[in-house]
Amino acid sequence: MRIEFTRFAAADAAALADFLTGEEWPYHAGVQEREAVLRRAAEGGYDDDGNRTFWIVTGGERVGLVRLQDLDDDTPMFDLRVRAAWRGKGLGTAAVAWLTRYLFTEFPGIDRIEGNTRQDNRAMRAAFRRNGYAKEAHYRRAWPAPDGTRHDTIGYGILRADWESGEVTPPDWDDELS
């Protein structure tokens, strides 16, 4: 399967609003409102100095979305969404590989990339690990779900040096002061 990443354009605002409001996103907090998406797009919130958004396209169909955030910082984060019909086909892993390469190639000042997911989002956690990201954090009951329950949040990160070497350097988990 050939996967392409095409940059979001202002003319895509309605399609973006349809995409974000037309699917269930079980591992994302809150519910997107169409007017809020359109307003944010009109204000440049999906493509400006701090954000870039890309469609994940295969077979001419927009099957997912990658939003790179905090690009004006040295530690960007990202939001990744894949349509329900396309989940389980490796698109998430491919998207994390692509965005990692893109960020480290296009932004030489970036030294690390981080991302968070719910503890029960096994597919996303596997995508992080397959792409050399190390588990860096575990936040208990930090992720609110639409039904009011709270889930643990797991934080992952990758250092430029790890990406370049292909090795994962884990955090020092035994640094507690006595």
Q: Work out the average pLDDT over 126-149.
A: 94
Q: How far is CA 50 from the centre of its chain?
A: 14
Question: Under DSSP, is residue 38 helix (H, G, I), strand (E, B) or coil?
Answer: helix
Q: How far is CA 106 from the centre of its chain?
A: 17
Q: The domain that contains 109 carries what CATH number?
A: 3.40.630.30
pLDDT(9) > 70:
yes
Amino acid, single-letter form, for residue 55: W
- With beta carbons less than 8 A apart as the criterion, state whether 82 and 57 touch: no
> The pTM is what?
0.94
Structural domains of the chain, count: 1
Amino acid, single-letter form, for residue 80: L
Is residue 144 one of the residues assigned to a domain?
yes
pLDDT confidence of 27, banded at 50, 70, 90?
Answer: confident
Is residue 172 one of the residues assigned to a domain?
no
Q: What are the tokens at 87?
A: 């989940």
Is residue 171 one of the residues assigned to a domain?
no
pLDDT(125) > 70:
yes
Long-range contacts of 37-42 (CB under 8 A, 24+ apart): 37/13, 38/13, 38/14, 41/10, 41/12, 41/13, 41/16, 41/17, 42/10, 42/13
Which domain covers residue 125, as residue numbers? 4-165
Is residue 43 one of the residues assigned to a domain?
yes
pLDDT in tens, 28-54: 876 689 999 999 999 999 999 999 999
